[in-house]
Amino acid sequence: MEIAEQTWYVLEDRDRPGEHLTLTAGAVKYVLAWTDEAGAAAFVLGNPVARGLVPLALDTRGLKSTFLEAARRLGATHVLFDYLPGAHQAAAAEISRLEALLTLSAKGKNTGPAPG
């Protein structure tokens, strides 16, 4: 299944909706998302900074697009998928590429290979 078609999970603070976790590595600022709820929950358990956050499903193009816009406003240029503390790597995609995939998906066209 293509990344644009999968449900994404982000972590939310129910007291402060719209805030998202970011991570900067080198000169790149990432916003974090997971492709399964268990991965998002595992991140919370393994990262004290995330305590109290809960996974929120982004299961429509509209929700994903809104998330990507919020990420841009936070200064992020990429989404880091399925990151866990201590992991040496995780899949990343440029926000502009994900937006293009969402647009293609909306038009019913083949979105090509998943970013990575």
For every residue of 32-81, which 3-state class applies, written as one string? EEECCHHHHHHHHHHCHHHCCCEEEEECCHHHHHHHHHHHHHCCCCEEEE
pLDDT digits (tens, 9 = 90+) for 26-83: 899 999 999 999 999 999 998 888 888 999 999 999 999 999 999 999 899 999 999 9
Q: Which secondary-structure segment (H or E) carries 97?
A: helix 95-106
Phi-psi region of 83 (alpha: psi -120 to 50; beta: other; left: phi over 0): beta
Amino acid at 111: T
pTM of the model: 0.83
Measured between alpha carbons, how far is 48 from 75 in angstroms, rounded to an integer?
23
